[in-house]
Amino acid sequence: MFRQLRAALRTGIVTEPPPAADDVEGLGVRLGAEIRRRFGRSLAIRQVDAGSCNGCELEIGGLTGPHYDLERFGLHVVASPRHADCLLVTGPVTRNMAEALRRTWEATPDPKIVIAVGDCGRDGGIFASSYAVVGGVADVIPVDVVIPGCPPSPRALLAGILDALGRRR
């Protein structure tokens, strides 16, 4: 127990500065002023895997770690869609997950936003022509922000979310 504490105190803070305005290509999506005002400083994110290969999940996992630290912006990940303001959807929506995704969206209280992650989330990505895939997330539920990439790096994810919320300088 003490060894862990000593290591923690010795290592110090490793968080990197947030992505600057010109760091990642402008995604051009900015949510409405109302949404920005509500969620600008406190956003609860619920990640939904709608059939992804988990490449995006690994990148999203890095967001909560010490290097990218989502929490310093007031964003945090929650377990239940009832607690969420934002659904972070990954993967091409497979036929088996379409209904589940729709129910998750219905379970989320309003106002809510949906962020589709990755090329798969945008339009099905490399799986688009598969018989098992419905299409991008927008084919199932209304999408507010798309963060393309295969997979998008944590930096790009962070830039995308902050940009949408109007938090990037």
Partner 1 sequence: MSGAVYGFAALASLAAGALGVHGLLGGTWTLAVPWLLPLGGLELAMDRLAGLFIAIVALTALPVSWYAIAYDRDARGGRGAYLAFLGAMIVVPLAANAMTFLVAWELMSLASWLLVAHQREAARAAWVYAVMTHAGFACLLIGMLWLTAATGTMAFADWRAAVPGLDPTTRHVVWALLALGFAGKAGVIPLHVWLPLAHPAAPSHVSALMSGVMVKLGVYGLVRVSLDWLGVGPPWWGVVILVVGTCSAVIGVLYALVDHDLKRLLAFHTIENVGIILIGLGAALVFQPVGAPELAALALVAALYHTVNHAAFKALLFLGAGSVLHATGTRNMEEMGGLARRMPWTAACFLVGSIAIAGLPPLNGFVSEWLTFQALLQNLSVARPALNLAFALALAGLALTAGLAAACFVKAFGISFLGLPRSEEARHAHEAPAAMRAAMVALAAACVGLGVGATLVIPALAAVAADLTRGAAVPIAVFGGVTVRVSDDFASVSTLTVAGALAAALLLLAVGVRLVGSTARARVGDTWGCGRILQTARMEYTATAFSSPFKRVFDFFYRPRRRLDLDVHPESRFFVRSLAYESATRSIFDDWLYAPLMAGLRHTTATARALQSGSANLYLAYILAALLLMLVLG
Partner 2 sequence: MIEIVIGGLVQILAVALGAPLVVGLTRLLKARLVGRRGPSPGQPYRDLVKLLGKTPVVSSTTSWIFTFTPYLLAATMLVAALVVPVLTSRPALGFAGNAILLMALFLLGTFFLALAGLDAGSAFGGMGASREVAVAALAEPTVIVAIFALALRADTIDLGALVERLGRAPSLALNPAHLLALAAFFIVMLAETGRLPVDNPATHLELTMIHEAMVLEYSGRYLALVEWASAMKLLLFMTLLANLFVPWGVPASAAPAALALGAAVLALKLAVLCVALALLETAVAKLRLFRVPELLAGSFALALLSVMAVFLVP
Q: Which amino acid is at 132?
A: A
Helix/strand/coil percent split, the chain, to 5: 40, 15, 45
119 close to 125: Cβ distance less than 8 angstroms: yes
Instruction: Provide the minimum distance between the beta carbon of 115 and partner 1 in the complex, in angstroms, as a whole number.
Output: 18
Does position 37 interact with partner 1 (CB under 8 A)? The reply is no
Sheet with 75-77, side-by-side order of all strands: 75-77, 43-49, 86-90, 113-117, 145-147
Residue 80 makes contact with partner 1 by CB under 8 A: yes
Residues in the chain: 169
Does the protein bind partner 2 through residue 12 (CB under 8 A)? yes
Of the ranges 6-14, 55-63, 142-150, 159-167, which one interacts with partner 2 (CB under 8 A)?
Answer: 6-14
* Closest distance to partner 2 from the beta carbon of 2 (Å): 8
The answer to whether residue 2 forms part of the interface with partner 2 (CB under 8 A) is yes
Footprint of partner 1 (CB under 8 A): 80-82, 97, 99-101, 103-104, 106-107, 109-110
